[in-house]
Chains A and B, each alone.
Chain A
């Protein structure tokens, strides 16, 4: 496979890879690194590309795995400050300032979801893959995808409602 063919092939979904990586890793730079890494890995295995029945789904799975590895490495590398004994139910001042823009707020809510729900909402509501494709990418069954999707969406709704009624109720 020639470089140009490969680039036209991956151009179709490389932004999707980037957005998935960004959803999981949050940082722009890290997401770019992840995308680059995944594309490089694909390029190195270009001889096998024809064997994959769905390169896009395969690349998505690779991205997911790469990001999981990154997140795991971060967790072990960093000292986590856990303060589980008390919790401020109101959004912190910093968050209020950060999320002045209401769309940012949705993003914040979304990034607080568990990784799996976050990914599924990303793939379904933003990239518009159907549940079967998502199940294939994440190695789940379709029912699990639907349940996680519903839970994630409801959680977002709940948080949005809180925000909407904040100061009113």
Chain B
């Protein structure tokens, strides 16, 4: 390309009025071997631009995708089932008590009878425990 044309383009370039394709022409022109000495200083600029457009990241960029194990949901479902199961069985209401006597007076007497029977057996059983005292006696014989 003619020199005057390049100079005109450069002027436009610094005014920010060149088009992308004109800028490409400039780049091509200035990456050539020989450039007139008064334009020499622009060579670095355009060479820098074309060089900079080739740098890339050295590190490989990875996407960290957190892959859940495929059957994780089975475990989750099982634990939920277990917990709800526990709660459901716990909260089952106890069977309701049914009255067995019509008259509360008789009911009271029957209860008393049963309780006294229980205490009677208790007392009978306790009599066997009297022997335990022997332990205490023999122990106090040795340890004073």
Write the residues of chain A forming the contact surface with B, with a CB cutoff of 8 angstroms.
3, 6-7, 14-15, 18-19, 22, 28, 31-32, 35-36, 39-40, 43, 102-103, 105-107, 110, 122, 124-128, 130, 146-147, 149-150, 153-154, 156-157, 160-161, 163-164
Contacts and interface: CB of A to CB of B under 8 A. Distances in A.
Interface residues of B, number: 29
A40 B64 contact: yes
Nearest to A11: B61
Given A106-B44, A150-B15, A154-B14, A126 B52 contact: yes
B124 to A, nearest CB: 80
B45 A160 contact: yes
B15 to A, nearest CB: 5
A113 to B, nearest CB: 13
Contacts of B56: 15, 18
A6 B52 contact: no
A49 B132 CA distance: 87
A157 B55 contact: no
B61 A14 contact: yes
A20 to B, nearest CB: 11
Interface string B58-89: 11011111000000000000000000000000
Contact of B17 (A130, A146, A154): A146
Given A127-B53, A128-B53, A164-B40, 10 more contacts: A3-B65, A32-B59, A36-B62, A103-B47, A126-B49, A146-B17, A150-B16, A153-B13, A157-B42, A160-B45
B41 A161 contact: yes
B57 interface: yes
A8 to B, nearest CB: 13
Contact of A15 (B57, B59, B62, B64): B57
